[in-house]
Copies of this chain bind each other. A is one copy, B any other.
Amino acid sequence: MADSQEKEFRVGMIGYGFMGRAHSQAWRNVNAAFRTPRIHMESIVGRDATAVARVASELGWNKSHTDWREVVADPAIDIIDICTPGDSHADIAIAALEAGKHVIVEKPLANSMDESRAMVAAAAAAQSRGIMSAVNFNYRRVPALMLAKQLIADGRVGDVLHIRGAYLQDWLSDPSLPMSWRLQKERAGTGVLGDLGAHVVDLMRHLTGKSVDGVTGHLRTFTHQRPDGTGKLGTVTVDDAALATLALSGGAVANLDVTRNAPGKKNELSLSIYGTRGSISFNLENLNELWLFDREDPSGEQGYRRILVTESQHPYLAAWWPDGHIIGWEHTFTHQFYEFLMSIESGTPASPSFSDGHDVQAVLEAIASSAANGHKLTTPEN
C-alpha cells in the first residue's frame, strides 16, 4: 500500500445533508479499505456558516465554507464532490472541471437535458486535459450487483429477454409528513422518477449493456398538499409514483415501477433479470445477497441460489470482513470513490460517466413526456 499512498488528494465537498454524511463516511474510510492515494478531507461547503462548521467538526472535514466558488477556486483542492440538490449540479460541476478539478456528482446528473448536455461537453473537454468526472450511481458498486454484471457478461443468464425493476419506499405514506425540496419540481426536477427511477434505469442499462429504445410512462401524485412547516400547506409538484414499460435493444422488454407510497417497503430496489439460460434477482434491503437461477444445473436440482456476497473472492470484499459478515449501504459510496480514485490514478475514464448520467436523464424525460402527452390510455369497452 505504501507506493500508491505516497500520492495525496485533497477533497472539497459541496452540500452536507443526508448525502453529505454518506459521502463523508466513504471518504473517511476508503484509505483503510483500499490501496488508493491518501485522501485529505479538506473543505466542506454549506450555506449556513454555523451549521456547516459544526458538521465539519463532526464528520472530520478540516475547514468549512459557505461559498462553493471559494473551494472550486482553491488551488489546494484536487477533487470536487457535489451533493447539492440537482438544480445546482451543472453550475458547480462545469466551474470545477474548468478549474481543473476532478468532479464526482450525486445523481441525478442534472434537472434538465440542457444542463446535462452542457455537463457532458464540459466533462469531455476536461478529460482531454486529464481531468476525470463521474456521476454517483453508487448502486453499481454494490458487490452483489458487480457480481450480477459479471455473471451476465459471462453468459450465465443467456440472452436477456425481460427485466423487472422496482424501487419501493414508504416514507410518503404518511400524509402529515412535511414538504421538502425533494417534493418541489424546481429543486428536484422530478419526484420518484428522478430520485428512485434513475437508479433502476441506470442499473438496467449498466448490468445488461442494453439501450432503452422506447418507453410508455405513467406518473401519479397521490398527496397534493403537505404542511410546509409554517402552518400552511405547500403544494407537491412532483410525482409520487412512476410506472413505465421499456423496449430495450435486442428485443427485450422491461417493467419499471417506483413509488414512495408502498407501506412496509423501506428501501426495496429490486431487480430481476430473465434470460434464455437463467435469471438473477436482487433486493437492496438485503444488499449482501444475490439470487441466481441456472437452467443448466442438473435436472431435478435446479433452484434459485442465495449467494451471500461476502466472500473474499467477491468484488471489493477482500477489503472487508470474513465470510458472512455483512457490509452496509454506506460502502456503495466507499467502493464508488475507490473506483473514481483508481480512474484518476490510471488516467482511464471514470464510470459511471456524465454521459451515462445524461442517457439516463433522456430515458426519464421520455417517460415523463409519454406520461404528460399520453393520457391516451385505452379504455376497456364492454
Contacts and interface: CB of A to CB of B under 8 A. Distances in A.
Contacts of A190: none
Interface in A153-212: 157, 161-162, 164, 166, 169-171, 173-175, 212
Nearest to A287: B326
A320 B22 CA distance: 9
A369 interface: yes
Contact of A28 (B29, B263, B366): B29
Contacts of A243: 245, 253, 255
A259 B274 contact: yes
Contacts of A374: 216, 378
Contact of A362 (B274, B375, B376, B382): B382
A235 B212 CA distance: 28
Interface stretch (A7-15, A55-63, A77-85): A55-63
Contact of A245 (B245, B363, B366): B245
A32 B44 CA distance: 14
A215 B313 CA distance: 40
Interface string A360-379: 00110111011001111111
Nearest to A253: B220
A375 to B, nearest CB: 8
Contact of A253 (B28, B32, B218): B218
Max count, chain B CB within 10 A of own CB: residue among A25, A277, A297, A303 = A303
**Interface size range on A against B:** 35 or more
Interface stretch (A66-74, A226-234, A327-335, A340-348): A327-335
A308 B293 contact: no
A275 interface: yes
A262 B162 contact: yes
A367 B363 contact: no
A40 interface: no
A277 B170 CA distance: 11
Contacts of A162: 241, 259, 261-262
A257 interface: yes
A247 B157 CA distance: 33
Interface in A275-332: 275-279, 284-287, 291-293, 295, 297, 299-308, 310-311, 313-314, 320-331
A251 B266 contact: no
A263 B275 contact: yes
Contact of A377 (B31, B166, B216): B216
16 contacts: A5-B57, A32-B60, A169-B323, A171-B322, A173-B295, A214-B380, A215-B378, A247-B377, A259-B274, A263-B295, A292-B303, A321-B328, A327-B329, A328-B330, A359-B380, A366-B378
Given A162-B259, A170-B323, A363-B380, 13 more contacts: A32-B58, A162-B241, A173-B295, A175-B276, A215-B377, A215-B380, A262-B279, A263-B295, A265-B274, A265-B324, A301-B305, A304-B305, A327-B328
Interface of A: 1-2, 5, 18, 21-22, 24-25, 28-29, 31-32, 54, 57-60, 113, 147, 151, 157, 161-162, 164, 166, 169-171, 173-175, 212-218, 220, 222, 241, 243-245, 247, 251, 253, 255, 257, 259, 261-268, 272, 274-279, 284-287, 291-293, 295, 297, 299-308, 310-311, 313-314, 320-331, 358-359, 362-363, 365-367, 369-370, 373-382
- Per CB-CB distance, the 4 closest pairs between chain A and chain B, nearest first, are A266-B324, A267-B324, A214-B377, A264-B293
